[in-house]
Amino acid sequence: MKHYKTITELYTGNGFPPPENPLLGLVTFDDIRGCKFAETEFTLGFYKIALKKVKSGTVMYGKTKYDHDNGSMFFLKPNQIIQMNDIELTEKGFMIYIHEDFLTNHALHSSIQKYGYFDYETNETLHLSPKEEETLWDLFNKIKGEYYNNQDEYSREIILTHIDSILKYSQRFYKRQFLNRTVLSGTTVSKFTEILKQYFESGMLQKKGLPTVKYMASELALSARYLSDLLKQETGKTALDHIHIALVNEAKNILMSTDNTVAEIAYQLGFENPPYFSRLFKKEIGLTPTEYREQFLN
């Protein structure tokens, strides 16, 4: 599999015009009309932000396929696998390539990590309304104007400010997308609860230990980060919070219906560390497991 370590290597390897800055690349689909990616499967050693419309063909980032024909935003972190097959793009779209070194000593170097959509799968892409698309194009054009206007000591700061704005707007638009999909979110919560219930009842806790967010996400055909963000938007709690609540509710039932010790209950629920179980229980309920049981004995 081909790995493009630098932006310049990506450009020269695929016949793009050379970048103005080796640490930052801007491409519109007009710029690369007639160019075709030399590799159908590759990885990049830098971030990629793209607004795309695909006429035909398939694109895969990670494990999932994207075939939507409306304007959509993609966010890739370094070293994620990209696959392209028989791609035909519409005339309108852009790509921004950002090497991590371009972010050095800037707040975005760390804050870019907080944008969970860099961990989403392709089928969890951000679908834009025409107005949202216009907003992002306006920011891209401001970056482009600065990029090709004899860069000076102010250029990097101005460009990164606009990139940060693209990321912030995308976060806002994703929240809109989550809210517009409340029926899906509600279904996800129900399915999540049902999968946990089956996990408990089938004895998986004893066999495999605590269910992970990754496991729950795979059962729902979602990425772990997208699942947590979706549940957080809908319920105010992350996927891990929901797992913990379910475990504590199960613990409450066992505490009230058996004489098992706290340690025995912890192991029964898949906890390898009983003190961790007790801390989690107290965090959720406000009482230790022993205190919770005692209030029903008096």
- Give 220's strand partners: none
Q: Which residues of the chain have pLDDT under 50?
A: 55-69, 183-185
Torsion sign (Cα): 85, 87, 93, 94:
positive
pLDDT tens for each residue of 79-118 = 877 766 555 555 578 999 999 999 999 999 989 988 888 8
Q: Alpha-carbon distance 252 to 48, whole Å?
A: 47
Torsion angles phi and psi, residue 94, rounded to 5: -145, 160
DSSP per-residue codes, 216-259: HHHHTTS-HHHHHHHHHHHHSS-HHHHHHHHHHHHHHHHHHH--
Give the per-residue pLDDT at 62.
Answer: 45
Contact indicator for 117, 170 with CB cutoff of 8 Å: yes
| pLDDT score at 226 | 83
230 within 8 A of 117, measured Cβ to Cβ: no
Quick check: 179 and 230 in contact, CB under 8 A? no
Strands 54-61 and 64-66: antiparallel
Give tens-digit pLDDT for 199-230: 888 888 778 888 889 999 888 888 888 888 88
Taken in order of first residue, the domains within the chain and their CATH numbers are: 2-180 (2.60.120), 183-294 (1.10.10.60)
